[in-house]
Copies of this chain bind each other. A is one copy, B any other.
Amino acid sequence: MKAAVLEQFGQPLVVQEVPDPVAGGGEVLVEVLATCVLPYAADVFGGVRRYPLETPVVPGLGGVGRVLALGPDATRLRVGDLVWCDPTVRSRDDARTPDITLQGWSSRGEGGLALSRHFHDGSFAERMVVPTENVEPLGDLDADQVVRWAALAVPLVPYGGLLAVGLEAGETLLVSGATGNFGSAAVAVGLAMGAARVVAVGRNTEVLAGLERRFGPRCRSVALTGDAEADTTAMRTATGGGADVVLDLMPPEVGADVVRRAVMSVRPRGRVVLMGGVGMLGGDDLALPYPWIMRNDITVCGQWMGPRTANGRMIALARAGLLDLAHEDVTRFALDAVNDAVAHAAAHGGPFVRTIITPQSAA
């Protein structure tokens, strides 16, 4: 089959013929129909993000596919089903603290790296092999939807965090880092989950204004000025006195002090979830006052990707139109144009802009 191979960090991907992947037990063979290229893919492939990805590798973070073959551990799926392929692969021998690899993308720790040697190649290919539990049926979709739904990878990230802190309908959510690809998706997901208000926090006033226009009065924005006190006051006011939930998605280049201010805009008994890249490339730790956490019963938690059940639920939200994929701005590329796709994604990382590779289409 044809696949895009990262032979070395810093080099362009090479589209080439590779051996057809073969699904073993506990695995499903999928024809890849559409896969999303994240805006920071160029940083990953360039080595800037220092991801523990071992080359050569076919990268690519999940996507929409069609089942070609499956094993006896699947009782509902059928060959030919249209499916979502979740890239979050968990080792099966520890229910409490599984090792995790993002197939074709990254991994956590020694165990995750070991796991990534088997579940190695991702979705920038005509076919891929996925663990059975990572395959989620999509039901019928038309050709246009198949392409759009490949972008589910993006909202699934904040959804995992909002599930972790149990955002409930009627609550107020503050999204710190709302102008990026994941952050803007967090705004959409929060509203889909029934948040009464989502406060979008970031620096780009134009993008923030766009979010308010897109989502109407349930979305309010706060433009960060860098003045700590003013920013804190603005967040407190916009949340009506303190958010129920704060979700941080700030990128690696932002300092922990910016996160701290967002965290501390949460109300007493509020919950904070950290999902960003802050500190990943160095910088200060996140410092918070112990007495503030203690006296106010604050919860701060981290979340890396989401639970397995998030896939089906997110698909239901999208099918119901609560999460609106129809109005996203999608540009598609053939597999042969993978490097163009990566460059395009890097240049178009704004809210609801998606770059999709469709490996089955002609160049």
Contact = CB atoms under 8 A, between A and B. Distances in A.
Interface of A: 24-28, 70-77, 91-97, 99, 108, 111-112, 114-115, 117-119, 131-133, 135-136, 164, 168-172, 192-194, 196-197, 217-218, 242, 256, 259, 267-269, 274-276, 278-280, 284-304, 308-309, 311-314, 316-317, 319-322
Q: Which residue, of A28, A114, A169, A309, has the highest number of chain B Cβ atoms within 10 A?
A: A169
Nearest to A250: B290
Given A91-B76, A115-B73, A278-B290, A218 B320 contact: yes
A115 B72 CA distance: 7
A111 B76 contact: yes
Contacts of A108: 295-296
Given A288-B285, A302-B297, A312-B96, A169 B196 contact: no
Question: Within the oligomer, what is the number of copies of this chain?
Answer: 4
A118 B301 contact: no
A75 to B, nearest CB: 4
A304 B294 contact: yes
Contacts of A242: 97
A298 B273 CA distance: 10
B170 A322 contact: yes
Contacts of A91: 73-76
8 smallest CB-CB distances across A and B, nearest first, come from: A26-B26, A24-B25, A25-B25, A72-B118, A293-B302, A196-B320, A294-B302, A92-B132
